[in-house]
A and B are shown apart, each in its own frame.
Chain A
Amino acid sequence: MIALSDVSVGFDGARALRDVTLSVARGERLGIVGESGSGKSMLGLAMMGMVPDAARIAGEIVLDGTAMSGAPERVWRRARARKVAMIFQEPMAALNPLQRLGETVMEPLLVHQGLGRSAARARTLELFDEVGIPDPEARLRQYPHEISGGQRQRVLIALSLTCDPALLIADEPTTALDAHVALRIIELLVRLADKRRMALVFISHDLAAVARATERIAVMYGGEIVEGGPTPAVLAAPRHPYTRGLLGARPGIGGQTPGRDADGRRKRLPTIPGSVPPLSLLPAGCRFAGRCAVELSHCAAVRPEPYRLPDGRFAACHLLGAGT
C-alpha cells in the first residue's frame, strides 16, 4: 500500500529521519515504536507528505502504486483522506472547536465525495455507528467540548474513514486516553483495518498498545529503524540492544510484577541510561552508541547495516554481524 525506501528528512545540519525503508501491504498492521524524538511522528508526517516547510526530504515514497517522491503539495493533497488518512494524539485539540461534530465529519463528504447534504448526513450517521458512537443523531449537533476524549477520538476515526482510505496512520492515538478507553480504541482500529482491508500504521511509545494493535513492528531510534519483524517475535526476543532496553524499561506487563532481587528487596525498574541526544549530536555510526550497554569500539564511527535474521526479522547492530 505504501513503500518507503531510503527516506531521509533533514533540517539544516540535523537529520530527523535517516534512510528509512519500510512497506505496509493492504490489510496489514504495522507498529512504529520509539521514544519521543526517535522520529516516529516525522515518519508519519512523511507518509502524508506533511513534513514541515523547512525540512528537506529525500528517498522514494510509493503510495498505492504512485511515486510520490518530490510530488508537489497539490498531488499530495489529492492523496490525503482518499488514499492515506491520519489521526493524531490529542483528540480534543485535533477537532475544530467551532464546528459541530456532524459538520466536521460531513465536510470531506461534501468537499471530496461530492455528496449532497442529506446523503452526507446519512453517511455520517453510518460512520458514527461503525466506529461505535452511541446515539449518533444527537452527536451530530454537539460540539467537541461536549463529549469525552474517547468519543472525540472515535469522531476523528470516523472523519479519517470518510473517503475510504487504503492506509490509516494513527500517531499515538491512545496516549491521551484512559487505559480502558485506549484499549477500546485499539480494538476498534484493529477491527476496522481487518474489515475494510485497510493498511494501518500504528505509531506509539506504548509497547503494550503496539503488541495488541499490530502484526509487524519497526523500532525507531535516532531517526532510523533499528529493528523490525513480526510483533510477537520481536517483543518476545528482541535482538537490538535498544529494543531490549525499551522492553526492560516497562513496568510489569501481563501480570508480571517488578521483580525482587535475591534479598527480597524490590528491584528498581531498569532504564536506558541517558536520553535521546539532540539530532545534531547523534553519532555518525550507530545512533545508539553512547547509551548502549554492550557497545563495541567501532560502533560510534561505523554504521551497522540491517542484519537479516530468520522469519523476516532484521536488526541494525554490529553485535549480530560479529556472530554474537
Chain B
Amino acid sequence: MGYFLLRRTVGFLATVLTITMVVFAVMNILPGDPALTILGIDASEQALAALRAQLGLNDPVLVRYAAWIGDALTGDFGTSHSYRVPVSELVLERMPLTLSLAIGGMVATVLLALVLGIGAAANHRKSGDWGVMFLSQIGIAVPSFWAAMLLVLLFAVHLQWLPPGGFPGWSDPVAAVRALILPVAALTIVQAAVLARVTRSSALEVMRLDYVRTARAMGYPRQRILWRHVLPNALVPIVTIVGLQFASLITGTIVIENVFYLPGLGRLVFQAIANRDLPLVQALVTLFAVIVVTVNFLVDVIYVMIDPRLKARA
C-alpha cells in the first residue's frame, strides 16, 4: 500500500506538471495580444511596446514559463488584466461557490443514482425497473442548460418556490442554499441518469454471482443482501464513472453558473477567456485540471480500499 501510494503520488505530480506545460503552451499559441486587450485598439504603438515589456511578453517562452511556475509555487498567479486584482484572490473568492455546486451535485448524483439503480436492479424486468430506465433515458437526452431553464420556469417563475438565479452570498446561509438548489438539480439530472444505469447494470451482474445466492440461502433480508453484499461488489465500475463525472460536473458548472448568474469559477473562466485575461485563464484551467487529476487519484485509492484483492497487486 505504501509503495502504491508513493507510485501514484509521483504519477500525480508528473501529470500536474505536464498539464501546466500544455496550458502555458496553448495560451501562448492562441492569437490575441494581451497588451492590446488591456489598452484597447486606440493605444499607441509605444504604449503597447512598454506594456509588453512590463508584462514580460518579449521574453523567450521558456523563461516566461519558468517565471510563471516559480511564482505559482509561491501562490502568486499574477494579476488579472481585466479585474486588476491578484488572480489568487479572485480564485479563492469564487471557489467556495463552485465547489459547493460540484460537491453538492456529486453527492446528490450518487445518492439518487444508487437508490434508483439498486432499486431498478432489485425489480429487474418489473415496472420499477422500466420506470427508472425510462426516466434515465430522458435524463441522458436532456442537456443540462435546457434542464436548468425548465427548472427555472417551473420552480422559480411558475411556482415561485425558489429564486431564478443570482447568489446572495454566504452571510445568509438559508438564502445561499436556496439559491443553489436549482443549479445543483440541473447538474444532477444528467449525471444521475447516467450513473443510475451504470449502477443498475453493475448490480445486475453481481446479483447473478454465487455469493449472492449464498446470502439468499442464508435467509438474509432482501435489503441487506442488496446494500451489504450486492452494492459493495458492484462499486468498482460505479466509482470509475463517479470519477469521470466529477470532471464533467466541474466543466458543467461553467454552463450552469452562466444560466443562473452565479459568481463562481465557471463564470469567471468564461469571462476570462472572453477578455483574453491570460494569467487568469492559465490559473483557472490549471486549477480545473488539478481538481480532475486529484479526483482520479482518489478514485484509484478508493479502488484499493474497496477490494482487498487489489491490495495484493497494488
Whether the pair A94, B211 counts as a contact (CB closer than 8 A) is yes
Interface residue count for B (Cβ, 8 Å)?
Answer: 21
Whether the pair B229, A80 counts as a contact (CB closer than 8 A) is no
* A98-B233, A98-B308, A111-B224 known; A93 vs B211 contact (CB < 8 Å): yes
**B212-265 CB contacts (< 8 Å) to partner A:** 213-221, 224, 229, 232-233
Q: Does B306 contact A (CB under 8 A)?
A: yes
Q: Does B209 contact A (CB under 8 A)?
A: yes
Give chain A residues whose Cβ lies under 8 Å from the Cβ of B221. Answer: 77, 111
* A90-B210, A143-B309, A145-B309 known; A96 vs B233 contact (CB < 8 Å): yes
Q: Does A19 contact B (CB under 8 A)?
A: no
Give chain B residues whose Cβ lies under 8 Å from the Cβ of A156. Answer: 214
**A79-98 CB contacts (< 8 Å) to partner B:** 79-82, 85-86, 88, 90, 93-98
Assembly CA distance A145 to B221 (angstroms): 26
Q: Does A193 contact B (CB under 8 A)?
A: no
Whether the pair A96, B217 counts as a contact (CB closer than 8 A) is no
Give chain B residues whose Cβ lies under 8 Å from the Cβ of A111. Answer: 220-221, 224
Tell me how far the C-beta of B265 lies from the nearest C-beta in chain A, rounded to whole angstroms.
37
**B190-225 CB contacts (< 8 Å) to partner A:** 209-211, 213-221, 224
Q: Which of A85, A90, A97 contacts B217 (CB 8 A)?
A: A85
Q: Does A7 contact B (CB under 8 A)?
A: no
Assembly CA distance A78 to B220 (angstroms): 9
Whether the pair A98, B218 counts as a contact (CB closer than 8 A) is no
Tell me how far the C-beta of A271 lies from the nearest C-beta in chain B, rounded to whole angstroms.
30
Tell me how far the C-beta of A172 lies from the nearest C-beta in chain B, rounded to whole angstroms.
12
Whether the pair B229, A97 counts as a contact (CB closer than 8 A) is no
Q: Which of B215, B216, B219, B312 contacts A79 (CB 8 A)?
A: B219
Chain A residue nearest to B229 in the complex (CB): A96
Chain A residue nearest to B307 in the complex (CB): A98
* A93-B209, A98-B306, A98-B308 known; A107 vs B219 contact (CB < 8 Å): no
Give chain B residues whose Cβ lies under 8 Å from the Cβ of A85. Answer: 217-218
Assembly CA distance A88 to B308 (angstroms): 23
Whether the pair A81, B218 counts as a contact (CB closer than 8 A) is yes
Whether the pair A95, B211 counts as a contact (CB closer than 8 A) is yes
Whether the pair A80, B217 counts as a contact (CB closer than 8 A) is yes
Chain A residue nearest to B308 in the complex (CB): A143
Q: Does A108 contact B (CB under 8 A)?
A: yes
Whether the pair A94, B213 counts as a contact (CB closer than 8 A) is yes
Assembly CA distance A215 to B182 (angstroms): 70
Whether the pair B219, A97 counts as a contact (CB closer than 8 A) is no
Whether the pair B217, A50 counts as a contact (CB closer than 8 A) is yes
Chain B residue nearest to A162 in the complex (CB): B218
Give chain A residues whose Cβ lies under 8 Å from the Cβ of B220. Answer: 77, 107-108, 111
Chain B residue nearest to A80 in the complex (CB): B219
Give chain A residues whose Cβ lies under 8 Å from the Cβ of B210. Answer: 88, 90, 93-94
Whether the pair A97, B216 counts as a contact (CB closer than 8 A) is no
Whether the pair A78, B215 counts as a contact (CB closer than 8 A) is no
Give chain B residues whose Cβ lies under 8 Å from the Cβ of A279. Answer: none
Assembly CA distance A145 to B309 (angstroms): 7
Give chain A residues whose Cβ lies under 8 Å from the Cβ of B229. Answer: 96
Assembly CA distance A90 to B211 (angstroms): 10
Give chain B residues whose Cβ lies under 8 Å from the Cβ of A77. Answer: 219-221
Give chain A residues whose Cβ lies under 8 Å from the Cβ of B224. Answer: 111
* A143-B308, A145-B309 known; A96 vs B211 contact (CB < 8 Å): yes
Tell me how far the C-beta of A303 lies from the nearest C-beta in chain B, rounded to whole angstroms.
33
Q: Which of A79, A82, A95 contacts B214 (CB 8 A)?
A: A95
Whether the pair B307, A82 counts as a contact (CB closer than 8 A) is no
Assembly CA distance A29 to B214 (angstroms): 22
Chain B residue nearest to A169 in the complex (CB): B217
Whether the pair B209, A107 counts as a contact (CB closer than 8 A) is no
Q: Does A48 contact B (CB under 8 A)?
A: yes
Assembly CA distance A81 to B218 (angstroms): 5
Binding site for A on B (CB under 8 A): 209-211, 213-221, 224, 229, 232-233, 306-309, 312
Give me 7 A-to-B residue pairs in the complex whose CB atoms sit less than 8 angstroms apart, sorted by A's number. A77-B219, A77-B220, A82-B219, A94-B213, A97-B307, A111-B224, A145-B309
| Sample of 20 further A-B pairs with CB below 8 A, known A97-B309, A111-B221 | A50-B213, A50-B216, A50-B217, A77-B219, A80-B218, A81-B217, A85-B218, A86-B217, A88-B210, A94-B211, A94-B213, A95-B211, A96-B229, A98-B232, A108-B219, A143-B308, A143-B309, A145-B308, A145-B309, A159-B214
